[in-house]
Amino acid sequence: MTDVLNSDNAWREWNHLLREAASLARLRVLRCLRSEPECMEIVGVGAGGDETKRFDRVAEQTIVDFLKERVSFTVISEEVGTQQIGVKPEGYVILDPIDGSTNISHGLPFACISAAFGTEPELEAIKAAVVLEVYSGVCFNAVQGKGAFRDEESIHPAEVKPLEECLIGVDDEYPPQIIARKQLATRRIGSTRHLGSNALELCYVAAGLLDAFIDLRGSFRGVDLAAAQLILKEAGAVLVDRQKKPILGRCSNEAKYSLIAASNLELARELLLLIEEK
């Protein structure tokens, strides 16, 4: 691959490589889950601090092995941490091999493989992104400046609607740090959901399936966010922090964020006001 750091064609090629790698990882994970009882075993603790199940490792190793036969890169992953692959890295591959591991462990069919390529390990330097649903095979993907897609269909966030008609994803599973769901439930909000795979829920905002997604715990890792944030931006949705500023920063296990993704900036502002009301 030539001119990888400065070529739209190269970024498209990275998108293609990530899609192929994630698709192969998905098939191997599903085969593991169907036929290998030890697939659910804990095999260690990942760089992100969570327990690593065998299926997490299968996904990560499949992606890394697929890519290293074709390109040189530095991988930043929730499981393995940061490693240089090859002698002359062309950029950074940021992975969350399985986002939704708890769902998979309980047999709940909502999880994804998240993979991104960046010229630097920064959110704003991500050039290609793939979020692949493990069970359905639906692929959300984007290349910087080229729009966002669900498989091959262009996606866009939901149209503006009254708050009482909005469907909002909320991750506030660690009280008392955040009481977003309780606050929203007492206001004029339509419905809230938490589905258990935050990267995938961000893609649902990008595709207009959710009107917004809220995670103000301050624990959304950069590796989990890398791919989905590009898909959000390319679709035309917004991603802001508690101060209503764009999310910028490192793609790492150590970098952690609070955020609201929404179909439009006004909705993000309204939701923050509701949550912060006493």
pLDDT at 108: 94
Rounded-to-integer distance, Cα 31 and Cα 144, Å: 33
Examine the fold and report which residue of 154, 183, 205 is the final residue of a domain before the chain moves on.
Answer: 154
- 167-170 and 191-193 strand pairing: parallel
Render pLDDT for 4-27 as a digit per residue (tens, 0 to 9).
445 778 999 999 999 999 999 999
Rounded-to-integer distance, Cα 90 and Cα 1, Å: 9
What pLDDT band is residue 124 in, cutting at 50, 70 and 90?
very high
The two structure tokens encoding residue 137: 């095979």
**Cis status of the peptide bond prior to 157, with omega within 30 of 0:** no
Decide if 180 is inside a domain: yes
Render pLDDT for 149-173 as a digit per residue (tens, 0 to 9).
999 999 999 998 888 899 999 887 5
- Domain co-membership, 186 together with 128: no
- Domain co-membership, 175 together with 107: no
Buried-exposed string 148-176: b where 16+ CB fall within 10 A, e elsewhere: bbbeeeebebbeeeebeebbbbbbbeeee
Examine the fold and report which residue of 154, 188, 209 is the final residue of a domain before the chain moves on.
Answer: 154
Render pLDDT for 22-45 as a digit per residue (tens, 0 to 9).
999 999 999 999 988 888 888 767
For residue 175, pLDDT over 50 is answered with no
**Nearest 5°: CA angle at 256, between 251 and 259?**
100
**CATH number, domain with residue 215:** 3.40.190.80
Domains contained in the chain, number:
2
**Ramachandran quadrant class, 63 (left: phi over 0; alpha: psi -120 to 50; beta: rest):** alpha
**CATH number, domain with residue 46:** 3.30.540.10
Decide if 3 is inside a domain: no
- Domain co-membership, 212 together with 124: no
Half-sphere exposure of 270 (CA within 13 A, CB side): 19
Contact 215, 268 (CB under 8 A): no
Rounded-to-integer distance, Cα 116 and Cα 213, Å: 20
Tracing tokens 């606050």 back to the chain, one arrives at 183
Decide if 178 is inside a domain: yes
- Domain co-membership, 150 together with 170: no
| Longest CA pairwise span in the chain (Å) | 56
Decide if 199 is inside a domain: yes
Examine the fold and report which residue of 154, 171, 188 is the final residue of a domain before the chain moves on.
Answer: 154
Mean pLDDT value across residues 63-76: 96
What residue numbers bound the domain in which 174 lies? 163-276
Render pLDDT for 211-257 as a digit per residue (tens, 0 to 9).
999 998 888 999 999 999 999 999 999 999 989 999 999 999 899 99
**Ramachandran quadrant class, 84 (left: phi over 0; alpha: psi -120 to 50; beta: rest):** beta
For residue 46, pLDDT over 50 is answered with yes
- Domain co-membership, 185 together with 127: no
Render pLDDT for 178-195 as a digit per residue (tens, 0 to 9).
455 555 655 567 788 889
